[in-house]
Structure 1
Amino acid sequence: MIWLLMRSTLLSLCLAGVTMAQVAARPGREPVAVDRIVAVVNDEVITLNELHGRLEAATAQLQKQGVALPARDVLETQMLERMVIDRVQLQLAREMGLRVDDAQLEQALQRIAANNKLSLAQFRAALEKDGIAYASFREDIRGEMMIARLREREVEARIFVSDSEIDHYLVNAAAGGASEEYQLAHILLRAPESASPEQIQKLRTKAEQILDRLHKGEDFAQLAAAYSDAPDGLQGGNLGWRPSERLPSMFAEASAKL
């Protein structure tokens, strides 16, 4: 992985076939494709309609945040890659026996509604008013919860606290626990496992190009939506506010020098 660090607070740069819909045969009318397959993930498919639905939701969210949108084709590519990764993770979660039952899902939906200062019925009505099918939203949330549990299990198995992170924590604790907070955003360029030197260099060149565009004043959130491999890339890469002692040591050390 490659991260490039910046700070105003802290910014870290941290398919296949086509399906024709069933169309009523009418004399003199050409068949019309109403949907098609854009990706195949093992034995599951992602359709163009699914892609466009997710794309419209992400676009609306970015606009609500005031983020300048990248080109449509760039955003579409990012969204398709994100959907493929999510589908793979969901398949793995099911294979590992991870489940989210209806009662747990209902509690999560009620929390989401409460965070928006709405009852669940009002929240459902608001979604449908915006053209979002409640049943689809419900299953999307179930999927996100399963993926979150998968990541937690993977992280717990691999977690390692370095000596420098312990030292950083102790320095802050000795100072009375007071620390600055930073609003974080990141762009992650992910390297494949056992990446070759050529692949690493290609990623490094891409990172340097993105950094150069940032230095020239381009919008960070727009570049995150266009290029980040992180799940939050389509939300502008925003990670929220974090105290310095909760930052990875490489981020904390780099931010102190900027």
Structure 2
Amino acid sequence: MKSRTVCRLILPVLIGAYFALTSVLFAEDKKAGPGDVAIVNGKRITVIELDQGVESKMQLLARRGQIPDQTQIADLRKTVLEELINIELLSQESRKKGIKVEESVVGDRLKALKSSFTDEKAYADALSKDKMTESDLKTRIEKGLLIQELVSQEVVQKVTVSPEESKAFYKDNPDAFKQPEQVHASHILIKVEPKAGDAEKKKARKEIEDILKRLKKGEDFAALAKQHSACPSKEKGGDLGFMRRGQTVKPFEDAAFALKPGETSGIVETEFGYHIVRVLEKKQERVVPYEEAQESLDKHLKDVKVQNEVSRYIEGLRTNAKVERPIADTAK
């Protein structure tokens, strides 16, 4: 299939949302207070939890360069509230079914989370900022793992894909299995900043010309890349792996796709500076055979089924649950 993600499971979305919304302490079980946005079978979800959840989502959008307007923020609040309700319903169901997770598994997950911080102080500061203790965090991690195990037992393990389904999808969606021409390239980059003056450009040009001369004399491309290239790929001898058209800047793409395997370009100028490109191998455009695509295809089809079944499972929990929305009910 095409090398892109074709679907997302609702489970990782829910679990991801849960951990993104862990910046406040658990609400106590009691009657609705003035700051409650929902009560799920007696369990409160507070305005603070909702606000923190929305803020987490806003930060994710900002990192992608997306700034929602007021209408979009209102819709986002509704979405986050429904996610919180779903998470609470799944958590309650996991407890009803007596699902357990080993303390060691929780500990391993906590250790992995802590390792993402630069040091103990950064970790402690993050907990303090979110008004949490490590014990609170462990409880939340455990809750997320319980939900994950519940969905695994009740949905994922029960979903199957037959060979007939898989082959039918392959036959009915031929475009999904077209693989475009690809080239496996390495390069050496002498970087030139966008605001560089003539003297800096001249110096960079001289450096890339000297490297090209050395290559023509038979020096090793990978060794020169490691020594001179300004691209992170230098650590792999300049190896960029396989690329398709449209994945890099046009001058580089044109040079790479014009070369035959084993050939080296002249000097290629792009917005990043000066390059020398070498093509290692090429793959022509083709249709991926069913036998080669089957494993990833079966996974895709199962993912789609699981997504739909998890949605149905949650709807079933909602049907049998008492979900109150005090603020919305008051506004009616």
Point out the structure with the larger strand share: 2
Q: TM-score, normalised by structure 1?
A: 0.49
